[in-house]
Amino acid sequence: MKQELSRVKEPKRFDFILASIIVVMILTSLLSIYSSLKLVPASYGGYGLILKQLMWAVVGLVAIIVIMYFGNDALYDFIKIVYWILLVMLVVLFLDMMFWKITGRHFPGGLIEDINGAVSWYQIPGIGTFQPSEFMKIVLIVKTALIIDEHNKDKTDDTYESDLNLFYKIIKTCLVPVLLILLQPDTGICIIIFISIAIMTLCSGVRKEWFTIGLILVLVVCALFFYLYLFQRPFLEQFIASYKLKRFDGWIYPEKNYIDEGHQLYTALLALGSAGLTGIGLQPDTIFIAEAHTDLIFVVFGQSFGLIGALFILILCFALDFKLYTITIQSKNPIEKYMICGFLAMMVYQQIQNMGMVVGLLPITGITLPFISYGGSSLLSYFIVIGLVMNASAKAKKLSDYVYSD
């Protein structure tokens, strides 16, 4: 008689290692924000930034508890409702942006304002800002995991036609919200979404030839871009805004553009290079660093604690990534496998981009460092990720959790 494995229990293990990593990252975040206060305008709130970050961390802890109480399966249907709510919020932001460009004013009520030229946030009195796109990237990763799982259950063979059908389903779900985010404009979030979902798709069981095709396309696009950037700049400016191309000027030639486009990179290199092995201490103010509490928080920590501090954050990020990787490998649930794979891709890309841009390896962008940079919406969204991962980690991971049944 054929015997099948059946689950006899679903143990509620609490992942203390993952929890410990997150606690250390939050403490590091609070210390980094404190160290950045002399570089942040007083109008931003001073020590209130630390209290707000702590408040959002507490809210994130409550979110983890709620997610772990209900479980991932119960939240998958709810995620569909959240998708439409966030989509409506993105549409309202888009309409406000169009109204602002035409009239020079935002919708009445003061709930929406532009920050650094982008209309991406709702203003919540007494609390701060709410950025729907931060949560939409999480929702799209979860929905894509559900789409991949359903597709794999229904498909009968591995063909190019089947893969194209999967691509169509994912694009149909992601295209509208990504376009709305891109128009805010927020290119950084769009890149995060694209990379996360691309990695999930490649890990979903599609034909490996797609990886080769995708890699060739990326190389061709990059080669074409840099050819036009270096030799046909006027032609390229017809398709890409000049302020975006100036970011590449600041990246490739920081010394020539240290007053304007290359200022952030130039000062970041000065701050890190002058910090030495142990840094110059808390709240440095010898070198001004723009966006010290958000995009360039790694520079502040590196300047305060030197090479040792920079290596500490690198090790901390690696510990988080490796933990997510081990949970992905151990998970028996395909939905959670795909989902955590997307979360891992999101984290790794943001870490590489944020830390790589301040040492000149990548262009400067507005991408923050997960769990370290200041930001209520982003921090809460990452806590939601940890809640979902905690549930996946808590499920059966060993053969001893299964028995043979008739």
Q: Are strands 402-405 and 4-7 parallel, antiparallel or unpaired?
A: antiparallel
Residue ranges in 104-186 assigned as alpha helix (H): 132-154, 160-182
Handedness of CA 228, 196, 353, 244 (dihedral sign): positive
Query: What is the reported pLDDT for 103?
Result: 87
Q: What is the CA radius of gyration of the chain?
A: 22
Query: What is the reported pLDDT for 2?
Result: 42
The residue count of the chain comes to 406
Query: What is the reported pLDDT for 246?
Result: 83
pLDDT along the chain (406 residues), means of 10: 41 81 96 92 84 94 93 87 95 92 84 83 82 94 95 84 92 95 90 94 88 91 91 87 82 83 88 91 86 91 95 96 94 92 96 94 89 92 95 64 42
Secondary structure letter of residue 131 according to DSSP: -
Query: What is the reported pLDDT for 12?
Result: 57
Burial of 108 (0-12, 13-18, 19+ CB in 10 A): exposed
Query: What is the reported pLDDT for 13?
Result: 72
Buried/exposed code over 234-255 (b: 16+ C-beta within 10 A; e: otherwise): eebeeeeeeeebebbbbbbebe
Greatest alpha-carbon span in the chain: 78
Residue 354's H or E segment, with its range, is helix 334-357
Query: What is the reported pLDDT for 88?
Result: 96
Give the pTM: 0.89
Query: What is the reported pLDDT for 252?
Result: 86
Query: What is the reported pLDDT for 57?
Result: 95
